[in-house]
């Protein structure tokens, strides 16, 4: 009788070693720098690690670990690969139309209200919301906290710069979102770039915040976190949703991305649906 060979094939063995290396890399990032990517969606993290590895000068993931521990510039380049900065002005215009029609009327009832824009990336959606609030006459009542873990993205958000080549699509999105003016009133063109009008930053506070490890923002009336949770695993999604829920006042609003949903999460029963397509939810009042 032939003995049973339980050894893995070489390919499976290599993949297993790489998985261990990635675990150790993420642990090094967390323990050395405080950025916790251990609960990010695994496929996304593995893809980004491999992309970074191909151009960083290291032969393996394990060779990256000493650089993460001792080289700040190397770590900064790596963390930029983990940051999801795909965004645009008035992305999904129907969301901003829904905010105008279904959220703004309730925001008007507060003399002052606070907005947390979590995972704001380079700020395009922050400026989009600011424009909506300004056109609806309630921007001066707002304080907007725009947060992200990526300091470089936050700096770009503070500068409010936009590629001139994207302005045509931004204008179209703005019009579809129910814009009431000429979109050109909100930016100043500079050669191949455009700067968003400084008045749109007057009520915005840009700040570093990591949804994987940091705490709540209290007494928010609206939380925007769009197209971020799709990169988290279930545990981290629930952690983030817990932060949002604890931060919102009763009757406050939560706006998620088009591919994100409260159903089947630990917090589904704490909200009512305001707009299913736009993924806007309202936190229920205490019974």
Residues 97 and 24 in one domain: no
Residues 118 and 160 in one domain: yes
Query: Is residue 53 assigned to a domain?
Result: yes
Residues 49 and 101 in one domain: no
Residues 103 and 235 in one domain: yes
Residues 232 and 116 in one domain: yes
Residues 109 and 27 in one domain: no
Query: Is residue 88 assigned to a domain?
Result: no
Q: What is the CA radius of gyration of the chain?
A: 21
Residues 137 and 247 in one domain: yes
Residues 195 and 236 in one domain: yes
Q: Which of 82, 111, 130 is the last residue of a domain?
A: 82
Number of domains in the chain: 2
Using N-to-C axis directions, what is the helix angle for 42-53 and 61-70, rounded to 10°?
Answer: 80
Query: Is residue 121 assigned to a domain?
Result: yes
Residues 42 and 105 in one domain: no
Residues 65 and 104 in one domain: no
Residues 100 and 75 in one domain: no
Ordered per-residue pLDDT tens for the chain, 287 residues: 455 555 554 445 557 888 999 999 999 988 888 778 888 888 888 988 999 999 898 999 999 999 999 998 998 889 878 776 668 999 999 999 999 999 999 999 999 999 999 999 999 999 999 999 999 999 999 999 999 988 888 999 999 998 888 899 999 999 999 999 999 999 998 778 899 999 999 999 999 998 888 888 889 999 999 988 888 888 889 999 999 999 999 999 999 998 898 988 899 999 999 999 999 999 998 76
How would you label 216-248 residue by residue, b for 16+ Cβ within 10 Å and e otherwise?
ebeebbbbbbbbbbebbbeebbbbbbebbbebb
pTM over the 0.75 mark? yes
Query: Is residue 150 assigned to a domain?
Result: yes
For residue range 216-240, what is the model confidence (pLDDT) as tens digits? 888 999 999 998 888 888 888 999 9
Range of the domain at 29: 10-82
Q: Which of 55, 82, 109 is the last residue of a domain?
A: 82
Residues 119 and 253 in one domain: yes
Residue pointed to by tokens 């150790």: 24
DSSP 219-268: SEEEEEE-S-GGGB-HHHHHHHHHHHHHHEEEEEEEEE-TT--STTSTTG
CA 266: distance to chain centroid? 20
């Amino acid at each position: 009788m032939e003995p049973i060979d339980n050894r893995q094939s070489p390919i499976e063995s290599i993949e297993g070693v790489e998985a261990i290396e990635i675990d150790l890399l993420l642990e090094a990032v967390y323990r050395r720098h405080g950025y916790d990517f251990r609960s990010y969606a695994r496929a996304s993290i593995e893809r980004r690690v491999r992309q970074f590895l191909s151009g960083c000068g290291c032969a393996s993931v394990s060779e990256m670990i000493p650089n993460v521990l001792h080289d700040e510039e190397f770590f900064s380049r790596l963390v930029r690969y983990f940051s999801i900065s795909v965004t645009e002005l008035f992305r999904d215009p129907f969301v901003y139309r829904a905010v105008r029609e279904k959220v703004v009327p309730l925001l008007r009832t507060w003399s002052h209200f606070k907005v947390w824009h979590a995972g704001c990336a380079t700020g395009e959606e922050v400026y989009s919301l600011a424009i909506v609030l300004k056109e609806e006459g309630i921007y001066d009542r707002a304080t907007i906290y725009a947060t992200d873990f990526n300091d470089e993205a936050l700096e770009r958000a503070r500068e409010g710069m936009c590629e001139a080549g994207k302005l045509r699509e931004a204008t179209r999105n703005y019009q579809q979102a129910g814009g009431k003016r000429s979109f050109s009133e909100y930016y100043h063109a500079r050669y191949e770039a455009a700067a968003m009008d400084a008045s749109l930053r007057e009520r915005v506070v840009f700040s570093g915040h990591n949804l994987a490890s940091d705490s709540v923002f209290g007494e928010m009336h609206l939380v925007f976190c769009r197209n971020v949770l799709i990169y988290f695993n279930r545990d981290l999604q629930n952690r983030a949703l817990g932060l949002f829920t604890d931060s919102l006042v009763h009757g406050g609003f939560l706006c998620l991305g088009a591919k994100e949903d409260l159903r089947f999460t630990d917090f589904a029963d704490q909200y009512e649906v305001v707009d299913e397509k736009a993924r806007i939810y309202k936190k229920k009042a205490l019974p």
